[in-house]
């Protein structure tokens, strides 16, 4: 029994089309999974920030997630920064201290 070259070409053409479609579907699913993983990581960061008292408790979870997801930094970097920040200190309050520390020194000396 001989294999018909026309039939082989048809099978290869159909297979290549199916492979392309499956590859596109795989890319779409990978992108959706990446979104879910990023949201899970953001939720973990929000939980860490809440435990450290770094977020306004009156804000909704969606607001907090939007704040974290809106960061220009990688979520891994944000997570490390939160982990290194002591409890009760907001990240924004660090920028409120003068660079030379004079205000802190003056208040210490005044006491």
* Residue 78: burial class (beta carbons within 10 Å; 0-12, 13-18, 19+): buried
pTM of the model: 0.62
**What would the pLDDT profile of 69-110 be if each residue is shown by its tens digit?**
998 889 999 999 999 888 776 655 444 555 555 555 555 555
* Residue 109: burial class (beta carbons within 10 Å; 0-12, 13-18, 19+): exposed
- Count of positions (residues) in the chain: 111
Contact 68, 75 (CB under 8 A): yes
Contact 60, 23 (CB under 8 A): no
Domain residue ranges of the chain, discontinuous segments joined by +: 5-110
CA 59-32-56 angle, 5° bins: 10
**What would the pLDDT profile of 17-65 be if each residue is shown by its tens digit?**
999 999 999 999 999 999 999 999 999 999 999 998 888 889 999 999 9
């Amino acid at each position: 029994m001989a294999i018909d070259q026309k039939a082989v070409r048809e099978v290869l053409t159909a297979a290549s089309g199916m492979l392309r479609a499956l590859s596109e579907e795989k890319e779409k699913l990978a992108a959706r999974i990446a979104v879910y993983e990023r949201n899970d990581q953001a939720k973990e960061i929000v939980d860490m920030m809440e435990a450290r008292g770094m977020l306004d408790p009156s804000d909704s979870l969606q607001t907090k997630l939007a704040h974290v997801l809106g960061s220009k930094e990688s979520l891994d970097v944000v997570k490390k920064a939160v982990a290194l920040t002591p409890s009760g200190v907001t990240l924004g309050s660090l920028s409120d201290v003068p660079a030379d520390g004079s205000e802190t020194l003056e208040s210490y000396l005044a006491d």
